[in-house]
């Protein structure tokens, strides 16, 4: 196929619309997991350990989803069966997770320092993040499968917009429900109704959006796909014999250099998701009592701040393409995010934090777009795109696992201050910005 067909705007929009719903689920998880487990009885030194599970499941699941879906051809499609299966499981778990404190389990049983409610929440979180990862990965792959090279930047921009729009909705749900009169406090050990209803609504939107993409998008059959990508039968058969470990050994240098930048960036954001609630509850509301109305109000405000971050990300994403050098754009974005993190230590007014999190959105915009731009350019013409995208997800997951595993020790070194952990996040982004100089965009 010499001239690859172009897709209309709405065809590209339909490809990624389900991502809007998936991102609502992910945003609800990111903004509320620390709040949920703190409410169930976890102390600040335990919080980071709960955050090991989401990236661990992503690291396990996404490479295999990439590999398996590369080789899946069904009447429903190639990537879509995984998309639908992941969404269905995610919806079920989203209904269960916020009810972890409602089954009178908090004092029923304690094992390894965790009560029964926390264990219930822990296993719910495992299934939630596994299913979100299963549902999320196919969207990235379908763009690679069905969009020509000259339209990929536009298609991924649409996906990035829907991603941030979904984040906005997910982050603001709890404060919206509080505003319309849903209770934002609950008995000790019970998750407030504002959070519970947020997860219910997120689950409904998730399945509706995924079904929309599932029904609207028709994936290419094998013969058309091979012609579209210029893949002959011999290469296709060779592709089936390649294992993930062998592909990792053959990964382009860009995979590893961008992966180093990713390590610092995603460790920083893991600390943000883990400690923002406790940090601003102490600095702006003057409380560390998780059962207090002030702490739960701070929990709602975390959603607002993360929404501001999403707005900053959307706007900065429009600026990034204007840079003549994308590596400079990457470094500048990370430094802006670092300034935002460090500034939180000196701010005690909840509204002034808007500026901090707006700057943090600059780093998030770069993290969503530029690593995949560098990697896919280095993989041009490579028949293992899905597998490499799955493997590349490990550069997102591994740093979060390391940060979560060491978070308890690090917070002890800074005297238990959750605000200081956000400063450490800023330092990590500075290290990431310095590492950008190692990325060679012309390497294959």
Of 14-23, 141-150, 349-358, the one with minimum mean pLDDT is: 141-150
Residue 235 has a pLDDT of 52
What are the structural domains, with CATH classification, of the chain? 9-438 (1.20.1250.20)
CB proximity list for 314: less than 8 A, separation 6 or greater: 161, 164, 165, 361, 365
107, pLDDT greater than 60: no
User: How does DSSP classify residue 189?
Assistant: T
Q: Which two tokens stand for residue 251?
A: 């990964």
Which tens digits make up the pLDDT trace of 175-192? Answer: 888 888 888 876 766 788
CB proximity list for 170: less than 8 A, separation 6 or greater: 23, 24, 25, 26, 27, 28, 31, 198, 202, 303
Residue 1 has a pLDDT of 45
Question: What phi-psi label fits residue 181: left (phi over 0), alpha (psi between -120 and 50 degrees) or beta?
Answer: left
- Quickly list DSSP for 115-152: EHHHHHHHHHHHHHHHHHHHHHHHHHHHHHHHS-HHHH
Do residues 395 and 238 make contact, with C-beta atoms less than 8 angstroms apart?
no
Q: Is the dihedral of CA 85, 89, 94, 97 positive or negative?
A: negative
Q: Which two tokens stand for residue 149?
A: 């090279």
Q: Which two tokens stand for residue 271?
A: 């600390």
Do residues 259 and 252 make contact, with C-beta atoms less than 8 angstroms apart?
no
Residue 104 has a pLDDT of 61
**Scanning the structure block, which residue is given the tokens 């509301």?**
285
Put simply, whether the predicted model's pTM sits higher than 0.75 gets the answer: no
**Scanning the structure block, which residue is given the tokens 């591994």?**
398
Of 23-32, 42-51, 153-162, 319-328, the one with minimum mean pLDDT is: 42-51
How far CA 9 is from CA of 333, 349, 369, in Å, comes to 28, 42, 19
335, pLDDT greater than 80: yes
């Amino acid at each position: 196929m010499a001239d690859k067909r172009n897709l209309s705007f709405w065809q590209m929009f339909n490809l990624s619309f389900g991502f809007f719903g998936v991102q609502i689920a992910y945003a609800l998880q990111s903004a509320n997991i620390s709040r949920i487990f703190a409410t169930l009885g976890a102390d600040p030194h335990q919080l980071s350990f709960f955050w090991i599970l989401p990236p661990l499941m992503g690291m396990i699941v996404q490479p295999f989803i990439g590999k398996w879906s590369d080789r899946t051809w069904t009447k429903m499609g190639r990537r879509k069966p995984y998309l639908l299966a992941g969404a269905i499981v995610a919806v079920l778990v989203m209904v269960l997770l916020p009810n972890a404190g409602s089954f009178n389990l908090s004092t029923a049983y304690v094992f390894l320092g965790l009560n029964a409610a926390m264990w219930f929440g822990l296993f719910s979180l495992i299934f939630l993040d596994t299913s979100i990862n299963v549902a999320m990965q196919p969207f990235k792959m379908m763009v690679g499968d069905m969009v020509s090279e000259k339209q990929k930047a536009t298609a991924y921009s649409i996906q990035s917009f829907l991603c941030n729009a979904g984040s906005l909705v997910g982050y603001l749900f709890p404060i919206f429900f509080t505003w319309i009169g849903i209770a934002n406090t609950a008995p000790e050990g019970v998750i407030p109704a504002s959070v519970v209803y947020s997860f219910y609504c997120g689950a409904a939107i998730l399945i509706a959006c995924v079904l929309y993409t599932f029904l609207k998008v028709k994936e290419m059959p094998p013969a058309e796909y091979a012609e579209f990508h210029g893949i002959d039968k011999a290469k296709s058969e060779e592709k089936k014999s390649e294992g993930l470990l062998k592909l990792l050994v053959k990964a382009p240098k860009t995979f590893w250099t961008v992966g180093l930048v990713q390590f610092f960036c995603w460790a920083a954001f893991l600390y943000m998701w883990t400690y923002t609630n406790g940090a601003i509850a102490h600095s702006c509301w003057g409380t560390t009592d998780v059962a207090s109305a002030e702490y739960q109000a701070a929990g709602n405000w975390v959603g607002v701040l993360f929404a501001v971050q999403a707005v900053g990300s959307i706007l900065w994403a429009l600026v990034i393409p204007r840079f003549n050098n994308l590596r400079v754009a990457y470094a500048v974005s990370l430094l802006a995010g670092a300034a935002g993190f460090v500034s939180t230590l000196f701010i005690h007014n909840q509204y002034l934090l808007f500026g901090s999190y707006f700057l943090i959105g600059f780093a998030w915009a770069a993290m969503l777009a530029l690593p995949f731009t560098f990697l896919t350019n280095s993989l041009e013409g490579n028949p293992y795109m899905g597998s490499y995208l799955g493997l590349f997800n490990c550069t997102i997951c591994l740093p979060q696992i390391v940060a979560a595993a060491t978070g308890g020790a690090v917070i002890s070194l800074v005297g238990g201050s959750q605000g200081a952990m956000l400063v450490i996040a800023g330092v990590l982004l500075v290290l990431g910005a310095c590492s950008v100089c190692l990325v060679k965009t012309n390497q294959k």
